[in-house]
Amino acid sequence: MRALFTLATALLMSLPTLAAEPTHRVEPPNWWVGMRDTSLQLMLHGPGIADAQPTLAPYPGVTLKGSHRAASANYLFVDLVVGPGAQPGELQLQVGGTTLRYPLLARTPGSAERQGFGPKDALYLLVPDRFAKGADLGQAGMKEGTHRADPNGRHGGDLAGMRQHLGHIAGLGFTQVWPTPLVENNSEQYSYHGYAATDFYRIDPRFGTNDDFGAFVAEARTKGLGVIQDIVLNHIGAGHWWMADLPAPDWVNQSPRGYTETHHARMTLQDPYASPSDRQRFTDGWFVPGMPDLNQRRPELATYLTQMTLWWIERYGLSGIRTDTYSYSDRDFLTRWSARVMQEYPRLNIVGEEWSPHPAVVAYWQRGKKNHDGYVSHTPSMMDFPMNSALLAALTENDGAFTGLNRLYEGLAHDFVYPAPANLVLFDGNHDTPRLFSLLKKDVGLTKLALAYIATTRRIPQVFYGTELLMESPVERDDGRVRADMPGGWPGDKASAFTGAGLSLEQRDMLDWTRRLFNWRKGAGVIHDGALMQYAPLEGVYVFFRFDSARTVMVVLNKNDKPAELALARFAERVLPGQRARDVLGGQTQKLGSSVNVPARSPLILEIER
């Protein structure tokens, strides 16, 4: 059967197209020469294509290994080898009497050696639909329009708005920006969050185009900001184009008993006593009926997801990947996926989301961990949910032997379970958690203590947009209100984070304080790579040091509602009377005496001169 193919304009940006019929697909839409792994599998989708016998016109360095079908008659998987001698150009693949012209591009110089985010960086997380509106975009073909009055609807934020305010992010001292997913989520409702993809290769047109995303990344780079892509491997949206014509019945996980939700029992994967049925329900159950769970045990799907990840990194010059619902995916697939990504980009960083309060569970997934069951991961970083929980408890509980500030002390003491604790991402909150300021009972002092800790401890800090403005939310989970609009992101807003207009005195102070903290951190090398020594909390005060052979920083967190006079004799291993010290946040320099005064409900960060 004669089949027509296209690389749809919205997917290819400036790449050449094959035809005008957008319902026929070739994915990935292009590839590159010079990749370390020379294999490439194309997914072709079109009416009756499965029985076609493709042939490849002679092309130096590229060979056609073969092709195969799945269950559907409308998919064909074509395996190619793009050898080390291949040059950029255009492959000509004959399929069912039609010539498919497939672009092979040159990699950007230095692409494989790109430096990913790490302890030197500070991450700024934003929700694109809620950050800023910068353009009037068409919504043709989109099932959900803009309803800004609905907390759970689309509010109209877009890439243009994000791009206009990159200066705000960079000016605060952040060096990486992490937007929640931007790919198409064409669902009838609740589509703004991005975690229910309906097209893995297309930016949602309500945010802009693939070209707009490229322009956003490029401009971010000029401002000293890397961009981290949020990628979902575990599930898709029920409106994904696959669901109308699955390549095979087992492309998504389906229970013989009918619809089954995951029970979120993530410890079944490490539990030596867990039942196989519980393990299967955790990984194969769906989040909700609108999010089909992908079966990465299917080889073609595993390859598809891996190539899709590489495509975004290579095409747009990303500095890292954040992987949603990490442990819910098949763990053997995760091993292969992470190994392939790190093979192509050895210095890149990937951070996985494992929402567990237990360090041993989070450590299980980090690269270098020697696990009890022999499981091997190649993912360098994980979100530090255990320390996030410890931080919130430390600032809201009364202090005791195992409570309050001792949560931070013991949390860091658990770093022995991690192969690379400094590469964990510690966060104040995210799009799934209540706002920090609200959880801390709207106490500005406690909020500053939390950010000071995140910025100075041995982790990669991540801050959720709006924390710098003391944004609030219900303390129970309420996603729509947690992901509230950034003030000033829409024409007519009465207050603006970006100009300062209409902000309260408390908000202005917090904005300025956050700016000073993270701009100092950006140049504080000892915070990026120095050692850490901590002292057990006493009387509501917690002290630790970051240091190396040439530099020392003393961090004091005073949780009390009155000033603390802190005797230095206890810390003689790291600081002595007579040394000079600069107050990082206040700017004053002093000669240390036998003690230092720490204001109530405040952090004190001192750079100690040798």
Which member of 324, 384, 428, 468 is catalytic? Answer: 324
CA contacts within 13 A on the Cβ side of 77:
17
| CA–CA gap between residue 545 and residue 542 (Å, rounded) | 11
Q: Which of 594, 537, 592, 607 is nearest to 568 (CA)?
A: 594
Cα 207 to Cα 140, 412, 459, 539, 600: the distances in Å are 13, 40, 32, 50, 44
* CA distance linking residue 69 with residue 76, whole number of Å: 5
From first CA to last CA, the distance across the chain in angstroms is 79
> Are the C-beta atoms of 285 and 260 separated by less than 8 Å?
yes
Sheet holding 320-323, edge to edge: 381-382, 349-352, 320-323, 226-231, 176-179, 123-126, 460-464, 425-427
Residue type present at position 369: K
Residues 6 or more apart in contact with residue 78 via CB below 8 angstroms = 41, 42, 44, 54, 64, 66, 67, 93, 95
CB within 8 A of 597, min separation 6: which ones?
563, 564, 565, 566
Contacts of 343 (CB under 8 A, 6+ apart): 36, 37
DSSP secondary structure string, 226-260? EEEEEE--SB--TTSGGGGS-SSGGGB---TTS--
Phi, psi for 22 (deg, rounded to 5): -80, -5
564 DSSP β-pair partners: 598
Give the separation between CA 23 and CA 7, rounded to whole angstroms. Answer: 10
**Residue 303 contacts by C-beta under 8 Å, 6 or more apart in sequence?**
41
The secondary structure element, H or E, covering residue 463 is strand 460-464
Q: Is the peptide bond before 28 cis (omega within 30 degrees of 0)?
A: yes
Q: Is 353 a catalytic residue?
A: yes
CA-to-CA distance for 299 and 495, rounded, in angstroms? 51
- Judge whether 324 counts as a catalytic residue: yes
**What sign results for the dihedral spanned by CA atoms 412, 416, 422, 425?**
negative
Q: What angle do CA 449, 450, 454 make, to 5 degrees?
A: 115
Identify how many contiguous H helices and E strands the chain contains and give both numbers.
16, 26
Could you say which of 353, 354, 399, 428 is catalytic?
A: 353
Residues 398 and 404: beta-carbon distance below 8 Å: yes
Please report the sign of the dihedral spanned by the C-alpha atoms of residue 185, residue 190, residue 193, residue 195.
negative
- The residues annotated as belonging to the active site are 324, 353
